[in-house]
Structure 1
């Protein structure tokens, strides 16, 4: 459809010189006492553009011997008229015509959409069935694991609400909220997996890995680290305020409240004086306890003994940022696949699936400690069994997919296992 518009536009632009030439020819014919009918004008224009110096004006009727002269002034006038039209009138014509064409296309799309939607819904439903047949066992194991983790988080939250203990109050609040967010992100990952978006799920696992890293540090250190972490929201709020102040006019937003801005800056300065300038870095809440400058997440990974997942973290980052690797190394495409991925795929789900299961268990097991009751030990073992079952199911489904793909490429039947 768009190509049709461009073709018509190109044709119109190419006709502009001819149309202005026809106007000039019309005047010349009138000056010569000849009726400037559209057919005659077009015949003369075609002859001139074809380089003909002599030609028959009419196929029928009396013979006419007419000389039409075009001097340098005529040519200059013609060029000026064309330039004036292209510079001043043509842009308005294009804008108006494009708006009218867009309106017509929009109406056509709205009229056709119910039929298109029904077709798309059918395609998505069929894809979901195929995806479920291949990955269903892994999905169900993952869901069981997530349910168990969420129930344990609910129990911890209930106990925290009833507790009157003042010791480690910041730590308990932080890990309670972090675990809830971990469960939320884990379900987001599951939704993306069940819809066939492996790269999107991997990008969300990146967040889950960050939560696991922060969670580990807060559990392993004193209550002051947790307090620094919770208060660091002010540093992030001040950074967001500065960004807002730079962009709100361009976006057409109202200025920030002077009172709120002053309150944010005051709270920021109080924390900077209390904890030092390193505290104001992106990960400055951990700078004092870890002995770092607070600028790199990798320092947190090292301290939390999560550095072994750095490769996976980088892989996930490709799907977060607009890097070249993000468009050339997609999980949703099998090896040697020449296609471009612009939607759902049944490939690559094993990587984010097993990573998410491992990270969620790491977080939830830490939630059960540090004083272990027998029930906690039992539930920790249950989580580990569910994790292993989930990881195994994802790996097996991924391997079967790759075997089936190789068999399909060789024209062989699928290998069932």
Structure 2
């Protein structure tokens, strides 16, 4: 028989103490217990709450022991790879700053500044997500890291599309925020009663509706649909992320993108298969970290960041930018080789 958990033992000990105080048979205790379950549960819980809380947040509970064990393994095995990845993210972040500072001074039209702001905003967000991936990998959560790459890939695809787009499409992309704000406001009010939130006022909602109608009159009724800001490039019925991938030649990652969805959605694949478990561990239950499965999120994250940064560096044909591109390639290759080496040991 499997050894009971510490918490299970504590609860059982408390129940046994209550039984020892009871004047009567075990059967009579069961009946009395069933009749007074709320009262007895409250008594038992009150007595155990502090002890269980101390256990749950202490260093001796099962989860904490495993976390410390996995943290030591990751520090030992992946230190070089994680240091390289951290350096790669820093380099990409600097490319954002260098590009923005340089071209903000050069550009002198509203359209150029709006496009630059839009591209850099997406690139900066990509760097932040890469940092989130680093934190998840450092702490043993490969599936979570792969799920964050999914978002990074989406940003990369949108970035590539916007880079080659006209000023009009850049403006449409930014104006689409009005459609999203209206949808969020409607959803908020639909939930406000349940959560006892103060609803958005009729006046505010009417203003959002007017703003929405204004951009619809500017671009047409199809603008309010999903991915309406791509209407100049994608035909009606094909305005979705998959078609956007095809448009920027990133459809080669469609299968990988689909796999990453398993870490997000509630499908059976996400239950049965985990990056965080080795082949021989796939039947295990995992509620915390593990020290494997990092290669995929790392290699695809570095690829997405490299793709975006190399595009920014291509805005100017200079020796500095050529050196930066080569540095990106060097870092990416070394990172992937290091994680691949460890995963295959």
TM-score of the aligned structures, taking structure 1 as reference length = 0.72
1:110 counterpart = 2:53:
yes
Within a 5 Å distance, the mapping from 1:20-99 to structure 2 comes to 90=35, 93-99=36-42
Length, aligned pairs only? 329
Q: 1:141 aligns with which of 81, 84, 90?
A: 84
1:349 corresponds to? 294
Q: Aligned pair 1:4/2:5, yes or no?
A: no
Return closer, same or farther for 1:16/1:210 CA change in 2, 3 Å cut-off: same
**What is the CA deviation profile of residues 302-322 of structure 1, one whole-angstrom value per residue up to 9, with x for unaligned ones?**
111111101111111111111
CA contact (8 A) 1:279 1:294 kept: no
Larger radius of gyration: 1
The verdict on how the C-alpha distance between 1:344 and 1:271 changes in structure 2, with shifts beyond 3 A counting, is same
**Structure 1 residue 360: Cα displacement:** 0.6
Q: Residue 55 of structure 2 contacts residue 61 of structure 2 at CA under 8 Å; is this kept in 1?
A: no
**Alignment partner of 1:250 is 2:191:** no
Contact conserved, 1:198 with 1:352, CA < 8 A, in 2?
A: yes
**Match for residue 15 of structure 1 among 1, 21, 28:** 28
Query: In 1, distance between residues paired with 2:220 and 2:339?
Result: 46
Any idea what the Cα deviations from partners look like across 1:25-83, whole Å, max 9, x if unmatched?
xxxxxxxxxxxxxxxxxxxxxxxxxxxxxxxxxxxxxxxxxxxxxxxxxxxxxxxxxxx
Would the alpha carbon gap of residues 114 and 232 (structure 1) be closer, same or farther in structure 2, given more than 3 Å must change? closer
Match of 1:221 in 2: 165
Q: Counterpart of 2:100?
A: 157
Structure 2: distance between partners of 1:143 and 1:382? 14
Secondary structure, counterpart of 2:233 in structure 1: helix
Larger RCO (alpha carbons 8 Å, 6+ apart) = 2
Q: Specify whether residues 103 and 162 from structure 1 end up closer, same or farther in structure 2 by C-alpha distance, changes over 3 A only.
A: farther
Who is 2:138 aligned against? 194
Ranges in structure 2 where 5+ consecutive residues have no aligned partner:
1-6
1:284–1:293 Cα contact (<8 Å) kept: no
Deviations 1:282-301 (A, max 9, x none): 21111222334464210111
CA offsets per residue over residues 372-396 of structure 1, 9 Å max, x none? Answer: 2232122112111211111111211
For 1:378, the equivalent position in structure 2 comes to 323
**3-state SS of paired residue (2:280):** coil
- Inter-partner Cα distance in structure 2 for 1:17 and 1:120: 33
Q: Which moved more, 1:96-105 or 1:246-255?
A: 96-105
Q: 2:102 & 2:46 partners in 1: Cα distance?
A: 59
Alpha-carbon distance change, 257 to 368 in structure 1, aligned in 2, over 3 angstroms: farther
> Does the Cα contact within 8 Å between 1:278 and 1:293 map onto a contact in 2?
no
**For 1:104, what is the secondary structure of its paired residue?**
helix
Within a 5 Å distance, the mapping from 1:223-302 to structure 2 comes to: 223-293=167-237, 295-302=239-246
In 2, the alpha carbon distance for the partners of 1:12 and 1:293 equals 72
- 1:180-191 equivalence runs, <5 A: 180-191=124-135
Structure 1 range deviating more: 10-19 or 178-187: 10-19
The 8 Å contact of residues 248 and 254 in structure 1, kept in 2 or not, is answered as yes
Give TM-score, length-normalised by structure 2. 0.86
Quote the Cα distance in structure 1 between the aligned partners of 2:54 and 2:316: 64
Provide the alpha-carbon RMSD of the alignment.
Answer: 2.8
Q: Is the 8 A contact 2:189 2:200 kept in 1?
A: yes
CA distance 1:228–1:6, shift in 2 (3 Å): farther
